[in-house]
Chain A
Amino acid sequence: MTDTSAYIKIDNVSRHYGPVKALHNLSIDIAKHEFIAILGPSGSGKSTLLRLIAGLDRPSEGRIFFKGQDVTALPPHKRGIGMVFQEFLLFPHRTVRENLAFPLRMTQETPAKIKDRLDWAEGILSLNGLMDRYPNQLSGGQQQRVALGRGLVTNPTLLLLDEPLANLDRELRQEMEVEIRRYQKQLGIPFIYVTHNQEEALSMSDRVAVINKGKLEALGERQEIYDHPNTPFVARFVGRATRFDGVSDGTTVNIPEHGYTFSPSAPVAAGRVSVFVKNERFALGASGTPGIACKVIDVVLRGPFVEFILEAANKARIIAVQPKRPDMHAIGAEIALTWDANLAHIFPAEA
Chain B
Amino acid sequence: MSEPNAAARKRVFLYIPTTFLVLFFVLPLVALVVLSFWQTANYKIVRDWTTLNYVTLATESAYIIFFLRSLLMAILVSVFLVVVAWPIAFFIVRFGGRYKLIFSLLLAVPFLSGEVLRLIALQGMLGPTGLINGALMRLGAAPLRFIMYSNSATFIAFVYLYLPMTVTTIYLSLLNFDLRLASAASACGAGRLRVFSEVIWPLNLSGTMIGFLLSFIPTLSASLAPRFLGGPNGTLYGMSMAQQFGESGTWALGAAMGVVLVLFSIAALVILSLGVNLRRTGFTGMER
Give CA–CA (A85, B198) in the complex, Å. Answer: 19
* CB proximity of A156 to chain B, nearest CB, Å: 9
| Chain A residues with a Cβ under 8 A of chain B | 54, 56, 75-77, 81-83, 85, 87, 89, 91-93, 102-103, 106-107, 134, 136-137, 150, 154, 160
Interface flags, B179-202, vs A, CB<8A=1, else 0: 011011111111100100011001
Contact B198 A76 (CB under 8 A): no
> Which residues from chain B contact A160 at a C-beta distance below 8 Å?
187
* CB proximity of B94 to chain A, nearest CB, Å: 14
Give CA–CA (A75, B189) in the complex, Å. Answer: 9
Give CA–CA (A82, B282) in the complex, Å. Answer: 23
Contact A106 B281 (CB under 8 A): no
Known: A106-B190, A107-B189. A93 touches B183 (CB 8 A): no
- Selected from A77, A93, A134, the residue in CB contact (under 8 A) with B186 is A77
Known: A85-B180, A87-B180, A102-B198. A93 touches B280 (CB 8 A): yes
Give CA–CA (A106, B188) in the complex, Å. Answer: 8
* CB proximity of A233 to chain B, nearest CB, Å: 29
> Which residues from chain A contact B198 at a C-beta distance below 8 Å?
91, 102
Contact A93 B279 (CB under 8 A): yes
Contact A75 B191 (CB under 8 A): yes
> Which residues from chain A contact B184 at a C-beta distance below 8 Å?
83, 85, 89, 91
B203 within 8 A of A: yes
* CB proximity of A34 to chain B, nearest CB, Å: 20
Residues of B129-171 at the interface with A, using a CB-CB cut-off of 8 Å, are none
B178 within 8 A of A: yes
Contact A77 B203 (CB under 8 A): no
> Which residues from chain B contact A91 at a C-beta distance below 8 Å?
181, 184-185, 198-199, 203, 282
* CB proximity of B60 to chain A, nearest CB, Å: 46
Contact B190 A81 (CB under 8 A): no
Give CA–CA (A83, B188) in the complex, Å. Answer: 7
Nearest A residue to B287, CB-CB: A137
Known: A89-B178, A89-B181, A91-B199. A76 touches B281 (CB 8 A): no
Contact A93 B187 (CB under 8 A): no
B284 within 8 A of A: yes
